[in-house]
Amino acid sequence: MTNTNPELKTFKGGNSTWSSYAWSVLDQCQDEGFQPLYMPTLVDKVVNGELPWDQWFTTPSIKATGETQQGSKVVVYAHIPTDLVTKEGLLNAWHTTWRRDVANGAASIGYKEFQQLVDQDGLTDTRGNRLIWVVDHEILKTAPSETIHLDQVLEHPQTIPFLGGQARTEAYLTIHAKKENTNTFFVSYDDDFNVHACWARLLSRSYEHGDARKFKMLHCSDLNDSAQFVGVRK
């Protein structure tokens, strides 16, 4: 199945490793006049059939982990533009990570930008869709990171912030149960907390053929991962 909306286009880089990294694919997407879809919009289009179910996608949405000015350890899920998710921001982060071999592929995000995201907790768009969630780090750290029953997925502290809302998540899980003929779901969480810096990852939708877990909804990309953005024409 291919994209059914002519205003959408999938970007996945070329044959070389360099061209498949997020900064390169993002640059290609924007150079051609497209805006990459954030996770909530991507999920909506998968649910309504505009995008194929059995494909993986990267988004410019991020999960950022750090300590606030007040000393609280938190994780931010943000579905808005950030300084990190630009060609320059991702390329600089990749070089830093590659040179230092730090944070298992996570990208360093500045304290100032991290705190700005924290301060915008609960931000909504003009249609009332929530765009930023701040979650207590300890709650996420102690939550299951494994295959769980579908009845537990909504209760997992990462699910709704990751996808961007309860109604959206419920719609997705209904499709998941039907498409995969299953009552389970695989949830994974990368603990990136480090007292010396703030770290971020892009949110991705992964689909693995031949894997009993099939769709790892809660997947946060490494900078060394290949990227595949879906863009909407500006």
| Mean pLDDT of the region 94-101 | 64
Beta bridge mates, 202: 62
DSSP assigned state of 197: B
Residue-level pLDDT at 24:
92
Q: Is the pLDDT of residue 18 over 80?
A: no
Whole-angstrom distance, CA of residue 51 vs CA of residue 64: 27
Residue-level pLDDT at 222:
75
Whole-angstrom distance, CA of residue 199 vs CA of residue 74: 11
Percent of the chain with pLDDT over 70: 88
Residue-level pLDDT at 212:
47
User: CB neighbours of 40 closer than 8 A, spacing ≥ 6?
Assistant: 61, 79, 129, 131, 163, 164, 165, 168
Higher pLDDT, 79 or 196: 79
Residue found under tokens 């000393």 = 71
Parse the chain into domains and list their residue ranges.
8-143+191-207+220-233
